[in-house]
Homo-oligomer: A and B are copies of this chain.
Amino acid sequence: MRWWIVRCLLFVSLACLPLMQAADSTSSTDVPTYTADGKMLFPTNYRSWVFLTSGVDMSYSPNPMNMGHSVFDNVFVNPDSYKAFLQTGTWPDKTMLVLEVRKAGDKASINKSGHFQTPELMGREVHVRDDTRFEGKWAFFGFDTDEPSKMVPKEAACYSCHQAHAAVDTTFVQFYPTLIGLAKDKGTLSANYLNDEKALASGQKEGKK
């Protein structure tokens, strides 16, 4: 659930815009909530949730997009699911992960180098587990505003990529610094991820020969 994926999701959600109906309601609850026609309400209070990690200019593609500025992505999870993960090493039903993408700044106030986060939001998406609702349990929803949004179609690359490479279930816990060790200890790392790691280690070994 990273920047490369978000770009794909933003593209998909923009393409879906004409299909979206106007809606008034937003959500400030910590459980996934939907409109009658299946759109998800945006969990507007996610900035009070538990922070998992941030990255800068991350890309899963060897040819990252150049936008002329850096971007941060922040990941948050609803508190009850975080508590459950600490106990079990995996996510329970009704987990919501929010990815927030923000424009980075460099020179401002007394900052001379490096990057900080600016108030300029560039996109948000929710990766949600809802067992009885979604085939494969998980779904993505992209949000350009706080208005309810349609589900990203199952054919989008984010689903197959998360399925193929996620460290825990379909989530990229490999990039959540306080949780990856815990998942390892609890034995919840996915077979796909462990195979990826084995292949990476073997490639590095080959490279050193």
Contact = CB atoms under 8 A, between A and B. Distances in A.
Nearest to A2: B111
A185 to B, nearest CB: 12
A165 B110 contact: yes
Q: Most B CB atoms within 10 A — which of A74, A82, A117, A174?
A: A117
A112 interface: yes
A59 B175 contact: no
Interface stretch (A34-42, A138-146, A176-184): A176-184
User: How many copies of this chain does one complex carry?
Assistant: 2
Contact of A60 (B54, B59, B112): B112
A118 interface: yes
Given A48-B79, A51-B74, A53-B116, A111 B177 contact: no
B177 A114 contact: no
B59 A115 contact: no
Contact of A113 (B64, B79, B109): B64
Contacts of A59: 111-114
Contacts of A112: 59-62, 64
A82 B114 CA distance: 26
By Cβ-Cβ distance, the 10 closest A-B pairs, closest first, are A51-B51, A57-B114, A58-B114, A54-B54, A55-B116, A109-B174, A119-B177, A117-B177, A116-B175, A59-B113
Given A51-B74, A64-B113, 7 more contacts: A48-B50, A48-B79, A51-B76, A55-B116, A59-B114, A60-B111, A116-B175
23 contacts: A48-B50, A48-B82, A51-B51, A51-B74, A51-B76, A53-B116, A54-B54, A54-B72, A54-B74, A55-B115, A56-B72, A56-B115, A57-B114, A57-B115, A58-B114, A58-B116, A60-B111, A64-B113, A109-B172, A109-B175, A110-B196, A111-B175, A118-B177
